[in-house]
Amino acid sequence: MQKNEQREALANFLRQRRASLSPDSVGLPPGAHRRTPGLRREEVAYLANIGFSWYVELEQGRDVHPSVQVLESLAQALRLTPNERRHLFLLAGQALPPQSYPGEEMISPALQRLLDDLNPMPAYVLGRRLDYLAWNKAADSVFAISTTSAASSPHARNLIWQLFTRRSIRRTVPEWERKVRGALAEFRAARARYPGDAGFEELIEELKQVSPEFCCCWQEHEVSRSLDGRKILEHPVAGHLEFDHVTLQVPNDPDLKITVYTPLVETRAKLQPLLSSFEAG
């Protein structure tokens, strides 16, 4: 994209987001004599604590260069989603800084319905710290996600915590050490994106207390790798299971990841009886 086109795309994006907001949605009085819906330019400038004339030039596609701080202020003023925030920085030609204080992770009803509709293919959603946020019955029957009570630990539904503290998982996963190092590398990369998130540090410190293996692996500083590929399990009821799996980002919040497991032919025949047994139990 040429610089002129990029500036115009940024201007269009700002105008569209401004038009989509109402004064009451951002805590401003409705005012009078509004000819068009949305916020006025001076209201956006006020909310972002930037100069009005400077913001006008930005919306007009002029050759101005907003700083990281200005872009962060605009993202907050315009109530941008994490994905929209990324888009704003991309259009402005700035590197996306980490979010020090991410909001609460939410799973929409539509996303949960998607997971349910994928049965009998196992699927779940992981949050930024690799917490299990949602899953379908097939995933629970294969991976026993919900069997660990949240009362046992505040991290009981965390993938890394389960890998290092649930000894039963090790018996079901061939090449356990390689798999766990890959997941740990992904966790390390996620932590680097949120240096101000105390939840990461609390989880790491507790793991150091309960798992000497975690302490050893954590010192190795492996880089993140793809979580897509082949997964093999030795399930205590269904026996040998093989899946191809792929991990996708949730469009409105790219830090949420959907993992879907597609069973191989022999495994597919075992899943429905396993799921039926799980539901009956």
pLDDT 10s digits, 8-24 = 999 999 999 999 988 88
Domain layout of the chain by residue ranges: 3-92, 109-280
Pick the CATH number of 3-92 from 3.40.50.460, 3.40.50.1980, 1.20.120.530, 1.10.260.40: 1.10.260.40
* 155 token code pair: 């991290």
Does domain 109-280 correspond to CATH entry 3.30.450.180? Answer: yes
Equal fold, 3-92 vs 109-280 = no
16: part of which helix (H) or strand (E)?
Answer: helix 3-20
Residue 101 banded pLDDT, cuts 50, 70, 90 = low
CA-nearest of 3, 37, 8 to 20 is: 37
Classify strands 229-235 and 239-250 as parallel, antiparallel or unpaired.
antiparallel
Beta carbons within 10 angstroms of residue 56's beta carbon: 14
* d(C-alpha 104, C-alpha 106), whole Å: 6
Over residues 162-189, the pLDDT tens digits come to 999 888 887 787 777 878 888 888 898 8
Closest CA to 210 of 171, 155, 147, 132: 155
The pTM for the full model equals 0.69
Which DSSP string corresponds to 193-204? Answer: H-TT-HHHHHHH
Least confidently predicted of 60-64, 94-98, 117-121: 94-98
* H or E stretch at 235: strand 229-235
